[in-house]
Amino acid sequence: MREHTEALAPPRALWVPFMLGRPFGAPGDAAFQRKVLIAALGLLERDAGPVLEDFPENAALDARPAPAGLVCPVAFPVLPKAGSLVQDLIDEVTQLNAWHDVAVKYRGRSTLGVTGLAIMDIVSHLEAWLSGGPPSWVVPGLSQGETLKHACDELRAFYLEAKAMQPGLHSSDSLQRWFWLETVAGEALLKIREIAANSANASAKAVAVQSIVPRVVEGWLNQRSAQAHAATPGKENPLLQGE
């Protein structure tokens, strides 16, 4: 945030116009990252400050196609929803596992591994929350809230890494919207937030309030509710009902 840097006035700072989470601008674009890095390091040669300089270029458009030529090794039929959120989540994760395998092979890495839990163990932990209360176990060394928080983030990372391999255009925004508005996992995390916020466990309650669902998602959910409301016959304008 330029406004934060202006307030703190560090000796040398480069402001960059990139989205939060991408201080070097463009994943997979070494030449662009190098430009940003050299611009930042170049400030070391200034003789007087504080210096707050603007990086002059935007990052390339975020929406890019998935890598070409990837073949998902297992073709799953789209399963009908079982009706239970837990079972639907398990089915969804099972299907996505094949795409996640592709991601690991293509990228040579995965960012999972914060909790040390396998993906189905993460699902199992979240399943206990969906069943109404704190699970009977936590990751050693972590509180109930920290275990919940990192389990939620790892589930989201699993989905995003898998989705990025599927054919089509993907961007940070489209991946987030897909996860929160279209997947069972997104629905499950929203439900878990509600359950954890009302639990007696202080650490889980704190996490639920601000560390499971991004602020931007609240706006999307409100928009979706408004659209659903407007699409319901007789509910276009609540003020006119009964006339």
Partner 1 sequence: MVRLADLSDADRDNMLKKVPTLPRFDARPFVRGPALEKRRVAIVSTAGLHIRGDKPFGSGNAAMDYRVIPGYIEASELVMSHMSVNFDRSGFQEDWNVVFPLDRLNELAKEGVIGSVAEYHYSFMGAVSPVTNYEPKANELAAHLLNDKVDAVLLTPV
Q: How far is the CB of 230 from partner 1 (least distance, A)?
A: 21
Query: Residue 83 or 215: which CB sits closer to partner 1?
Result: 215
Determine the interface stretch with partner 1 among 94-102, 118-126, 171-179, 225-233 (rule: CB under 8 A): 171-179
Query: Residue 71 or 215: which CB sits closer to partner 1?
Result: 215
Residue 16 near partner 1 by CB under 8 A: yes
DSSP class of residue 135 equals: -
Q: How far is the CB of 81 from partner 1 (least distance, A)?
A: 26
What mask, x for binding partner 1 by CB under 8 A, covers residues 38 to 67?
x-xxx-xx-xxxx-----------------
Cα angle, residue 18 at apex, residues 9 and 168 outer, rounded to 5°: 165
Burial of 93 (0-12, 13-18, 19+ CB in 10 A): buried
* From candidates 76, 167, 219, 223, binder to partner 1 by CB under 8 A: 219
Structure-token pair, residue 128: 């206990």
Residue 46: C-alpha distances to residues 40, 71, 174 (Å): 11, 51, 40
**Which 85-124 positions form the footprint of partner 1 (CB under 8 A)?**
107-116
User: Is 175:164 a contact under the CB 8 Å cutoff?
Assistant: yes
User: Is 16:55 a contact under the CB 8 Å cutoff?
Assistant: yes
Q: How far is the CB of 64 from partner 1 (least distance, A)?
A: 10
**Which 177-216 positions form the footprint of partner 1 (CB under 8 A)?**
203, 206, 211-216
Distance, CA of 188 to CA of 80 (rounded, Å) = 17
Determine the interface stretch with partner 1 among 84-92, 117-125, 127-135, 145-153 (rule: CB under 8 A): 145-153
